[in-house]
Structure 1
Amino acid sequence: MMESISGAAPAPRVPPRLVALFACGSGLSVANVYYAQPLLGSLAADFAISPAAIGGVITATQAGSVVALLMLVPLGDRLDRRRLMLVQALLLALALACVAMARHTPLLLAGMLAVGLLGTAMTQGLIASAASAADASERGRVVGAAQGGVVIGLLLARVLAGLVADVAGWRWVYLLSAAAMLALAALLWTALPAQARSGPRLSYGALLRSMLDLLLHERMLQIRGLIALLMFAAFSIFWSALVLPLSAAPFAFSHTAIGAFGLVGVAGALAAGKAGSWADRGLGQRATGMALALLVLAWLPLGLLHRSLWLLGLGILLLDIGAQAIQVLNQSMIFRSRPDAHSRLVGCYMLFYAVGSGAGALGATAMHAAAGWTGVCVLGAGVSALAALFWALSLRWTPA
């Protein structure tokens, strides 16, 4: 009553400490999926895997991620999310410990598959929980904070894994992360609110079938999913090909130095939170147009890589701000369409991400072989422009 008389804004439904937990938990969870990338050399040496085959470690992790999106993430719309994430966090800690103690290649690959499966389920489950815990008036802000945690976790995973491996060996990367997951499990159990279920409780089979129904009939999911597919393709085109010119003459940078360029993208986490606030104010479409413009413009300084590394840094900044803003805007607008299906919606949405990322990686390496870095940038700019064009055409079908 006092707040309404004074004209002050109502207190947020989600307290700051819970927003921080969503952000930190998302970052810690997603990092597990990416720790292996800078450790491939050490893994190849320890398990006597050839350089041509060591990529199977990453393939196993990504395969687990896809299975999680289809089979585990939707469970958040059927089961109590607090209990579900407690079980997932404990199993993830066990999987990480198994990777750390693996002595044979099949056990390593099985552990990586489980890490991808459970790490992805935890990350997307936290984002869905953040969306459900927030009121519609602040959902974009809260989801943006969680997505910002994902950005930071993804970018810092490679750096932290390299540092720990240099000091104590690669196995300690996974042992320390297992301990972190146990601590996260305790925090989630004590801090996550109970979330009431509305409507009939679907069977597991019906739950999975309903995802196909969402893909076929939810227009907002279809439109924002296609924008995400194109955006992630452009994002993947850049990051998949960047190592090729930077590791060659005249730069000849180490993999650690190349990975450090990713730290520029931490600014994308700030953009994620701001974009969520714009979505809460009904400015989602306008903000999407601005973010897509940044995505297209980023390729101009990126194309001048051989002239200046400062221009490369500027391009990375623009690319990451645009991509992360689009990610949060997409999720905020999709979650608004079906409040009863947040877990299934995020699972369906991230399938577009997986397709776009995979296609971008394949296109990037093929284009670099055919036309060098200039060809990569032309391809990335073209895909980004296609995303902007599709968004402009979709305005007649979607609200702000």
Structure 2
Amino acid sequence: MSSHQDISQNKPLLWLMAIACGLMAGLNYYCQPLIHSIQQYFAVPESQVALTVTFAQVSYALGLLFLVPVGDIVNKTKFIPLLMFMAAIGLLLCGFAVNLTMLWIGTVIAGLFSVAAQVLIPLAAMAVKPEKTGEVVGFLMSGLLVGLLLSTSLAGLLSNLFNWKVIYLVSSVFTLTLAFLLKSRLPQVSTFKMSYIRIFQSMAHLLKEEKRLIYRACVGGFVFAAMSILFSTIAVLLTSEPFNLPDVLVGTVTIVGVFGALATTKFGKIADQGHTKALTWIGISILALSWLFLFMGERWLISYVVGYGLISLGLTMVHTSNQSIIFRLRPDAKSRINAIYMTAYFTGGACGSALGVYAWHHGGWPMTCLAGLCLVFGSAFFAALDTIYQTRKQKVIIEESL
């Protein structure tokens, strides 16, 4: 198990960890509001540049699958700064890119190693008392989601003020600084003696034995896919008629999502009190409603902004519930459980962003919105399976105790 440290009272460290989570998560989304600028800079088709979003998410999913589980068997205090250092190298490559291929290589390297955030979160879950898990993980998730949402605004702003490359160069410096600050401050937690191959065998066992992990991973994958449709289409929709917004304003639209992200700690406390089922279903309902506003957002910008805010809020509620549930399944396998869950989550994201591009080209905005709504129904299906499974399990426990 973990050491006896409890970092829940160490606010400066928690803030550093939350900022690191935000920076690591956000760097995969810089290209979203910049697609038009990058396309003009390299003089290549916009559809090629839009692939950068998908590359970022696919490489992130690979990092989740192959790097995050290592967090259970190595010294996290050395592993996390190393991952951040490698991510900074990827960012530098993007910042000095002379062609689209170099930007893609930098994006893949940065995406692969930006999973440092997903090693930080299980580390925090191991270094707090069980009753504080939801609250502390929620705080780090707030940092992660705020970083994710502000990244597009900052990328758009710096692009308009200077050049689209500036955000990558500034981020690489910040990443190196944070890696250095965290190196001596991260708590020591015990690791497990296990080979790299053995990790994947144990992950296969987890999938066999923990049905709830599968259901919740699918719920997470579907809700993030629904949100990711917006990631790959926001620039295309808002830079064309009737809006014709510049990069900086495309990025600013996403700021509304920060309000949902800031509520993560509050949702974490609610989840700690055992209200995960209610949180999940309210979140899914909000996600379904958001697509109605987004559909009308083709004509009215305010409707798009409201829809974006709602989808962010719904996603936060569902994701917080999911993490509260999965981290309680096996306290000795938090990194591996997080790896399985987040791999499904970001694989969903990559599929969602690719589906967004496909739907846009084959049926415009109405088809894009229909695809988003279908993904929400997919998440509801797996949430229903999870509810049925949990109800049956509790029934068996009650019968056995009688």
TM-score by length of 2: 0.86
Distance 1:96 1:361 in 2: 21
1:215 Cα deviation after fit: 2.7
Correspondences of 1:386-397 after superposition (within 5 Å): 386-397=378-389
Distance 1:237 1:248 in 2: 17
Q: For the structure 1 residues 21 and 106, does the alpha-carbon distance in structure 2 shift closer, same or farther, using more than 3 Å as the test?
A: same
Q: Which moved more, 1:34-43 or 1:308-317?
A: 34-43
Contact 1:12 1:138 in 2 (8 A): no
Aligned-pair RMSD on alpha carbons? 2.7
Matched with 1:271 is: 263
Matched with 1:172 is: 166
Structure 1 position 301 matched with structure 2 position 297 = no
Q: Which moved more, 1:323-332 or 1:48-57?
A: 48-57
Q: For the structure 1 residues 242 and 64, does the alpha-carbon distance in structure 2 shift closer, same or farther, using more than 3 Å as the test?
A: closer
Distance 2:155 2:125 in 1: 30
Q: For the structure 1 residues 264 and 110, does the alpha-carbon distance in structure 2 shift closer, same or farther, using more than 3 Å as the test?
A: same
Q: For the structure 1 residues 223 and 179, does the alpha-carbon distance in structure 2 shift closer, same or farther, using more than 3 Å as the test?
A: same
Matched with 1:3 is: none
Matched with 1:4 is: none
Distance 2:349 2:358 in 1: 14
1:235 Cα deviation after fit: 1.6
Structure 1 position 282 matched with structure 2 position 277 = no
Distance 2:101 2:186 in 1: 36
Distance 1:341 1:24 in 2: 25
Matched with 1:6 is: none
Matched with 1:149 is: 143
Contact 1:231 1:384 in 2 (8 A): yes
Matched with 2:61 is: 66
Matched with 1:138 is: 132
Matched with 1:222 is: 214
Contact 2:264 2:320 in 1 (8 A): yes
**Identical amino acids, percent of aligned pairs:** 33
Number of residue pairs matched?
387
Matched with 1:8 is: none
1:360 pairs, out of 347, 352, 372, with: 352
Which residue identity is paired with 1:377? C
Matched with 2:317 is: 325
- 2:390 is paired with a residue whose SS is coil
Q: For the structure 1 residues 123 and 240, does the alpha-carbon distance in structure 2 shift closer, same or farther, using more than 3 Å as the test?
A: same
Q: For the structure 1 residues 387 and 101, does the alpha-carbon distance in structure 2 shift closer, same or farther, using more than 3 Å as the test?
A: closer
- 1:193 is paired with a residue whose SS is coil
Q: For the structure 1 residues 278 and 163, does the alpha-carbon distance in structure 2 shift closer, same or farther, using more than 3 Å as the test?
A: same
Matched with 1:96 is: 91
- Deviation digits for residues 167-196 of structure 1 (CA, Å, limit 9, x no counterpart): 443443233222211221122123211112
Matched with 1:5 is: none
Matched with 2:238 is: 246
Q: Which moved more, 1:53-62 or 1:171-180?
A: 53-62
Matched with 1:31 is: 26
Distance 2:360 2:113 in 1: 34
Which residue identity is paired with 2:26? A
Which residue identity is paired with 2:74? L
Q: For the structure 1 residues 384 and 37, does the alpha-carbon distance in structure 2 shift closer, same or farther, using more than 3 Å as the test?
A: closer
- Deviation digits for residues 112-157 of structure 1 (CA, Å, limit 9, x no counterpart): 22111111x2121122222222221111111111111111111111
Q: Which moved more, 1:174-183 or 1:236-245?
A: 236-245
Gaps of 5+ in 2: 1-5, 395-402
Distance 1:56 1:314 in 2: 27
Q: For the structure 1 residues 376 and 175, does the alpha-carbon distance in structure 2 shift closer, same or farther, using more than 3 Å as the test?
A: closer
1:368 Cα deviation after fit: 4.1
Q: For the structure 1 residues 21 and 374, does the alpha-carbon distance in structure 2 shift closer, same or farther, using more than 3 Å as the test?
A: same
1:370 Cα deviation after fit: 4.7
Distance 2:288 2:266 in 1: 20
Structure 1 position 118 matched with structure 2 position 110 = no
- 2:328 is paired with a residue whose SS is helix
